[in-house]
Amino acid sequence: MLKVGIVGGRGLSTIAGFQNRPELCEVSAICDIDGGVLDDAVKKHGIPRSYRIFDDMLDSDIDAVVIATPMHCHVPMAIQALERGLHVLSEVTAGVTIDELWWLIEAVEKSKKTYMFAENYCYIPQNAVIKAMVNDGLFGKVYFGEGEYIHNVLSLVSRSGFGMPTWRKYWQLGKRGCFYPTHSVGPVAQWFEGDSIKSVMTCSSGQNVAEIEGLRQDDTTLTMCRLESGGLVKIRVDCMSPRPHNMSYYSLQGTKGCYEAPRGLGDEHKIWLEASGDGDNRKWAPLSDYYDKYLPERYKNATEKQKQSGHWGGDFFLVDDFLDAVINGKKPAIDVYDACEWTAVGLLSELSVTNGGRAIDMPRFRPGTPLSEQIIKL
C-alpha cells in the first residue's frame, strides 16, 4: 500500500485520484503552514495525520509526496523528498532558476525514484483527443501550435484582510517575461512528440497595468519557441490585463488539418481535416464529432465526481499515471526532462525580453548531461 503525503493545500485537488484507488494507495498525511487548511482537510477528507513542518511529514512512514506549495519551494522540497527515498509528484513550475533545474535532474537521477510533473493541462480531455489524432496521422506533419494563459491574478498579490504581499508579487508578477509557461507549452509539446525546443524568443507590451499596480511583470508576453524540427510554437501569458479569463486556448496546424479551442461567447472546440473531403469548401466541424473514436477510454468511463476533480478532470487522470509509474516502474508520462524544458521556456524568456527579444538557445535537458554542457548560450 503506497502511503502518500500532500504538502500545500492546493494539492488536495489530487485527492479524488488517490482515493479512487484504495487498493493501491492512501493519502495518509497532509502538511501546510495554515492550521485552518489542515483542520478542514482532516475533517473533509479523513486524512489521518497533519503536519505544520515539512521535515516532520518526511520523517513519517510516507512513500510519496505531492508538492503543491508556492513555486519557489518546489525544487528544495522535491530534493528533500528524493534524498529520503520518496517518489515525487510536483506542481508547476518545476523550479524558478536554471540552476535549480539541473539540481532537480541530478537528484532524480541519483535517487532512482519516480518524479512526475503535475502539468494537469496535458490531461484536459480535448487536448488528449488532439494528441490521439496527431498520433493517428490525421493532421499530417504538424508545424505550428499555440497556447494561451490569460488569467488576471491581481487579487492574489496581497493577503486578503492583511494587505501584506504574497509570494505571487515576487515570483510571478515581480519577474519579467513568460513567467508561467507550462500550462501553455505542455499540451502543445506533447502534440510534437519526439521533438524538442531549440530556442526561445520573447517580446512584451511593456508595463501598462503593471505600472499602475507597481509591479515588474509585463502586461502581455508573446514567446516564440523554435523547435528542433523547424516547427514553431507561440505562447501568450497575461495575468494582469482587465478582461475575461481564457486559461486554456490552444491551436494546432499541420499539413492535413488544423484545430482551434474556444475563445468564448458560445464558441466550441473545432477542427478541419483534409480527410473530411470538402475540398475548397473548407468548414469547421465540432471536435466532439471525433470523441467516440479518439477520446481515451478512461475519460469515457470516468464518473461525474472524477470529471469534477479539478482542471476539467486533469487532476484526476494525472494521478492515475503517477501511480502507474510508481507501482509498475513505467516511465512517467511527464518526466523531469519534460518538466525542466517546459519550465525553462519561462526562465529563458526573462533573458530574451530584457534583451530586446533576443533568441536564447534552450539547454539540452537529457539524462546524464555533463557539467560542461549545462550552459545558456547567448
Between CA 212 and CA 227 the distance in angstroms is 36
* Residue 153, CA atoms < 13 Å, CB-side half-sphere: 25
pLDDT tens, position by position, 109-148? 999 999 999 999 999 999 999 999 999 999 999 999 999 9
Q: Is the pLDDT of residue 309 over 80?
A: no
Beta strands in 228-314, from DSSP E residues, in sequence order: 232-238, 246-254, 257-260, 270-273, 285-286
* Cα 270 to the center of its chain, rounded Å: 23
Q: What is the 3-state composition of the chain as percent helix, strand, coil, each rounded to the nearest 5?
A: 40, 20, 40
Query: What is the pLDDT, as a whole number, of residue 161?
Result: 61
Q: From residue 153, how far is each of 28, 143, 256 by CA, in Å?
A: 32, 32, 38
Chain segment 169-208, per-residue pLDDT in tens: 999 999 999 999 999 999 999 999 999 999 999 999 999 9
What pLDDT shows up at residue 162? Answer: 66
Please give the backbone phi and psi of residue 233, each rounded to the nearest 5 degrees, phi first.
Answer: -125, 125
pLDDT of 284 above 90: yes
Which CATH topology does 121-296+336-378 take?
Dihydrodipicolinate Reductase; domain 2 (3.30.360)
Q: Is the peptide bond before 303 cis (omega within 30 degrees of 0)?
A: no
- Residue 28 exposure: Cα atoms within 13 Å on the Cβ side: 17
Q: How far apart are CA 287 and CA 89, in angstroms?
A: 31
The pLDDT, as a whole number, for residue 307 is 76
Torsion of CA 288, 293, 296, 298, to 10 degrees: 90
Average pLDDT over residues 340-351: 98
Q: What is the residue extent of each domain of the chain?
A: 121-296+336-378
